[in-house]
Amino acid sequence: MQALIDRIKQEGKVFPGNIIKVDSFINHQVDPELMLAMGKDFHAKYQDQAIEKILTIETSGIAVAVTTALQFQVPMVFAKKSEAASMDKNQYQAKVYSYTRGKTFEIRVAKDYLKAGERVLIIDDFLANGEALSGLISLCEQAGAEVAGIGIAIEKTFQPGGEKIRQAGYPIYSQARIKAFEGDTILFEEN
Amino acid sequence: MQALIDRIKQEGKVFPGNIIKVDSFINHQVDPELMLAMGKDFHAKYQDQAIEKILTIETSGIAVAVTTALQFQVPMVFAKKSEAASMDKNQYQAKVYSYTRGKTFEIRVAKDYLKAGERVLIIDDFLANGEALSGLISLCEQAGAEVAGIGIAIEKTFQPGGEKIRQAGYPIYSQARIKAFEGDTILFEEN
């Protein structure tokens, strides 16, 4: 998606450890017009998939998940993160390891909001090692919901998450695919 | 705002300790059409205030802050929460006590995204004791930004936050104002 790629080129900041920060328009300050355009782009990609629910994870996925849900006219659910384990029979839970933070946390969705047979579009801002995305897929599987599509804003294709999850048979569409960093320069996959 | 009040009457759940849960359309599952209508309502209220930025706090404020920012065509910034104190000279910070969780946490905004003289509309989902809102106001004051308005989805008018912050001179518009709970029944202020 060219508008997102252009914005990343203009404002994305590269940090050691293959980290890219997009705090000025996605992760801290948010550009609502860009979020709307991204929501429309996800809708264009998955509009024939009879999507019934958008699933994301707090916090940074929420903005684009809302604009995407607006296009599909379906509810959005955000999984909640917690560092503490809990046993609540009313929730689906999955463990997610965060490479950024170097620890494992739990993500949860109330059973009321993810149902058997529901066709779910998972939306998230980043895909790198695929830990959070695998956790969201696990929540859907526990519910018996169907992952009808996955929409990612920024994928780092040189990290293994996308490959692993595509090989497991899940369709992933990423709007901007970063293949490498060369110093401060961000290189994108051709298309 | 009648659409929100009606939805709270239909789906809001009252819990001991004057807690109301609106997990089915705001705090966990999110109704994007309602968020859009709420954003339009905030815009109608504050459209003559030359708003330049929307400020909210993660997590539950983000959805309605995005739809509000779309109406004003200005950026949205969400303050980040942390349990750990930090000293980062590039951030404004404020301490917020959470009655729900019984502990104090920090909220932060990068100085890059809140500027002196900027006219800010603060948006949040709940107002009760006013702790989070006071923290957001403090961030604006530290930045020299002007709080041009405050928009709240659900205010519990029997708790002291709204009164305290209005008396300090800040304009607050709340879309649904709950004056009391009688058993499972939610009573709203007349208008």
Q: ipTM value of the model?
A: 0.96
B129 annotated ligand-binding residue: yes
Rounded (5°) CA angle B136-B141-B144: 130
- Determine the residue of chain A that is closest to B75 in CA distance: A31
The predicted structure's pLDDT at residue B82: 87
Q: What is the CATH number of the domain that holds B171?
A: 3.40.50.2020
Q: Sort strands B19-21 and B13-15 into parallel, antiparallel or unpaired.
A: antiparallel
| C-alpha separations of B176 from A88, B51, B162, B181 in Å | 31, 22, 13, 14
Question: What does the mean pLDDT of chain A come to?
Answer: 96
A18 annotated ligand-binding residue: no
Name the pLDDT band for A151 (thresholds 50, 70, 90): very high
The predicted structure's pLDDT at residue A83: 78
Q: Test A32 with B69 for CB contact under 8 angstroms.
A: yes
Residue B27, judged by CB atoms within 10 A of its CB (0-12, 13-18, 19+), counts as middle
Residues of chain B falling short of pLDDT 50:
none
CB B185 within 8 A of CB B156: no
- Determine the residue of chain B that is closest to A35 in CA distance: B66
Q: Test B59 with A59 for CB contact under 8 angstroms.
A: yes
Neighbours of B102 (CB within 10 A): 7
A79 annotated ligand-binding residue: no
Q: Test A30 with B59 for CB contact under 8 angstroms.
A: no
- Show the tokens assigned to A140: 């859907």
B156 annotated ligand-binding residue: yes
Cα B53 to chain centroid distance, Å, stands at 14
* Integer-rounded Cα radius of gyration of chain A: 16
CA of B25 vs chain A CAs: smallest distance (Å): 8
- State the DSSP code for A84: S
Q: Test B76 with A33 for CB contact under 8 angstroms.
A: no
B18 annotated ligand-binding residue: no
Domain assignment of residue A96, given as a range: 2-188
| Cα–Cα distance for residue pair A41/A117, rounded to 1 Å | 25
The predicted structure's pLDDT at residue B168: 98
Report the residue of B33, B34, B66, B101 to disrupt the A interface, i.e. the one with the largest count of A CBs within 10 Å.
B66
The predicted structure's pLDDT at residue B191: 66
The predicted structure's pLDDT at residue B47: 98
Q: How many domains does chain A have?
A: 1
- Determine the residue of chain A that is closest to B69 in CA distance: A32
- Show the tokens assigned to B96: 């917020």
* Residues found in chain B: 191
The predicted structure's pLDDT at residue B88: 83
Which residues of chain B are within 8 Å of residue A29 when distances are taken between CB atoms? 75-77, 110, 112-113
**Of the given ranges (A35-49, A88-102, A114-128, A173-187), which has the lowest mean pLDDT?**
A88-102
For residues A38-45, give the mean pLDDT.
98
The predicted structure's pLDDT at residue A191: 66
Helices A32-46 and A62-72: crossing angle in degrees, nearest 10, is: 50
CA of B121 vs chain A CAs: smallest distance (Å): 14
Could you report the per-residue pLDDT of A70-127, keeping only the tens digit for each?
Answer: 999 999 999 999 877 777 889 999 999 988 788 999 999 999 999 999 999 999 999 9
